[in-house]
Structure formats: structure tokens, C-alpha cells
Amino acid sequence: MPYIGQEAATTYSTRLAVQQFNGDGSTTAFTLNQSVSADQDILVSVDGVVQDTSAYTVSNGTTLTFSPAPSSGTANIFVNYLGLAVGTVTHPATQGLTATTGAFSGKITADAGIDIDNINIDGTTIGLSSGNLTLDVAGTIELNADSGSINLADATTTFAELVNSSSDFIIKSSQNDKDIIFKGVDGGGLITALTLDMSDAGTATFNHDVLLGDNSELKLGSDGDLKLFCDGSANYIRSQTSDMDLGIVVNDGGNIITALAFDSSAAGAATFNSSVTENSDERLKSNITTIPDALSKVTEMRGVHYTRKDTGLKRTGLIAQELQKIAPELVSTAEDEMSTLSVSYANVVGYLIEAVKELSEKVAALEAK
């Protein structure tokens, strides 16, 4: 046949799908291996006689039912699927295959790759010559690397990997000393929320607060030796490891010093590197009066030796309940289950000073006689 243009391909081959059944004279229902939508989608013959569609029905797409049952025979029932093709279509390697309209249903095998618009699918690579690639689906987009990693690359350089390691999800920065940065839009402005510095062992820098809920702990040390937490009513700094001391270290003019140390092996005994002072400016005070009868009150105070029940350590001091009756302002009550009482030993000095002065006056009066 005459034609204009490139020579038409002559090596295409196709055949209609065919299925055979054996009749036994009683079976009326047979299962099709291709799903059809209507009785007219198949051509049925029994013993070489083409059957009218009134002789059979197709239900559920794959159940072929005869009325009455076909006669007995070997492969005497033929079903031809109309419009369904099986097999392969071979296109000449020297000729291009171009489709501008229409649809294809089935499988395409192309050893040299397939070009669709500006998308190239070749072996294990999907290439896009220009523009953006959009995946728009009604359901879930699943990336399945089958025990491998999902790599993010720019040209031929892989800069990040998503890895499944025994069901642990790993986000990996593939380039040496390149950071992992989390950014977001806050009130219309782009911010860096978190930076993981890969050149400094992954040091984390947060742009703002790190918020932990009540009873959530910030643990420091490989074994969680130090914990910071809040239980909703009080804040705590806890040295978790037995007898491990807690220190507050500061920089004093370029010198690193321990300003305060708590000895965990001695019931938390506190040692200050220098003096301990308390604000005592007159401008901060009102209702200033001299302590009256200080000597008699000091005389009522009882100094005692005792052993702490919780630590077994021997100590010297006062009994808070006794002192509370004499000078209640020297005793504080904790907000705990026991309403534990504590003594402000530093403030006892005021009573001692006035008591010494009263005693000194009495001595002077006696000496004057």
C-alpha cells in the first residue's frame, strides 16, 4: 500500500486472549481468568457452535454460567475475550514510537528507556530534563528502598540519606562537617529552629526555648548522672549517682573556680569558696527595733548535739521546735509533706550580739560597785 513518510512497522504481533474448559454435562459455572464487564465482552462456543448471549451470563466479572449445562467433552468449550490482547508487542529498534493522544493499558518493556514529554525513564533512573516533578495522589506516597537507603542528591553528589537500621529511623548528613538544619516559618518570617553542628560532634543550637513538661527530666552525663526537672510544684537539680558531688563552677576573672560544692557523701554538706553574705541594707528595711531581752531569750535557747536519722551523721545546733517558741522569726516551715522546720542560724547572731551587750552592761554595773 502506498504511504507518505517513514516506512510503517511490520513486526507488530498480537492475539486475542482465549480460554478453554472441559464440559461434563452437569457443570454450569466456570471461572474466567480475565475479568469482563458484560456478556458481550466474550465470544463463547460449545462443540464448535457459537453461543448466543442468551445461553450464558457473566456475573462478578469472572463467573461464566450456562443454562443448560454444556455437553461433555475435552476442551469443547471455547471463550474468546473480545478486545483483550495478550502476549508482547515488538517495536523495531531502529524506529521511534511516538504517541500524542490516546491511552495504553498493559505493560511496556523498553530496553533503551522511555521518554514521556520531558521525563525519561531508563532502567533504575527517572530523569527530568527541565521543570519540577509533582507526585499528586489520592492516597499515600510510599518510598520503599527494601533494606537500602533513600538518598537525597544534587547532581551526582549525595548530601543526605534516610536509613532504616533494624527499624531505627536514621537521618544522615552525608557530606563531611555539613550541618543538619531545621527551619520553619514563624509569623511570616523564616527562622532556623535547630542546628546540629556536624563539625562539633553534633552540638545542638536551638533558636529559642526547649520546653519539657512536668516530671520530664533533662539528663546530663552518659548515665544520666545529673537531672534537671520540675514536678509541677517545685524545681529540682538532682545528682543521680551515689555519692557524686554537685558543684557550681564559675569564671572569676579568667579563673575557673568552684563557687559552691555539695558533698553528696556527707548529706549534701555545702562548701562555699568564699564568704556568704545576705543583703542587709537599711534602705531595704522598715520597722527597725533593737531586740529586747536578748540575754533572757538566749538563755532559753538550748544548744544540742544530735545524730541525723536520715544520714547517721553527728551534728551540733538547735532544735527548731524549741527555738520557734522563743524566736519564731528564726524558724521557717517547708512546703513538704512533713512541713519540715529549718533554722536560720545566721540570724541568731542578732540575738547573740544584744545578749552580749546586756551581759556586758551587767558586768560593768557589778564592777562599778
Bond preceding residue 68 cis, omega within 30 of 0: yes
Neighbours of 295 (CB within 10 A): 19
Q: Which domain-ending residue is among 65, 86, 107?
A: 86
The pLDDT value given to residue 101:
63
pLDDT tens per residue, range 171-213: 999 999 999 999 999 999 999 999 999 999 999 999 999 999 9
In a domain, 62, yes or no: yes
What residue ranges of the chain have pLDDT lower than 50? 1, 9, 11-13, 85
Q: How far is CA 275 from CA 259, 280, 337, in A?
A: 10, 15, 33
What is d(CA 62, CA 52) in angstroms, rounded to the nearest whole number? 18
Residue 321 domain-assigned (yes or no): yes
What is the residue range of 35's domain?
15-86
Q: Are 31 and 62 in contact (CB under 8 A)?
A: yes
* Structural domain contains residue 38: yes
Place of cell 512541713: 339
Q: For 192, phi and psi rounded to 5 degrees?
A: -95, 105
Question: Which pLDDT score is estimated for 307?
Answer: 95
- Res 12: pLDDT: 47
Residue 108: inside a domain = no
How many separate domains does the chain show?
Answer: 3
Q: Are 295 and 351 in contact (CB under 8 A)?
A: no
Nearest to 241 by CA among 228, 258, 229, 223: 223
Within a domain: residue 72? yes
Provide the residue type at 229 as one letter. F
278 located within any domain = no
Asked if residues 232 and 214 have their Cβ atoms less than 8 Å apart, the reply is yes
Cα four-point dihedral sign 111, 136, 194, 220: negative
- 259 vs 94: CA distance, rounded Å: 86
Q: Tell me what pLDDT residue 349 has.
A: 95
Can you say whether residue 215 is alpha, beta or left, with left for phi > 0 and alpha for psi between -120 and 50 degrees?
left
The single-letter code of the amino acid at 6 is Q
User: Given the DSSP bridges, would you call strands 73-86 and 15-23 parallel, antiparallel or unpaired?
Assistant: antiparallel
Residue 172 forms part of a structural domain: no
- Separation between Cα atoms, residue 302 and residue 327, nearest integer Å: 12
148 assigned to some structural domain: no
Give residue 306's pLDDT: 96
pLDDT for 2 equals: 55
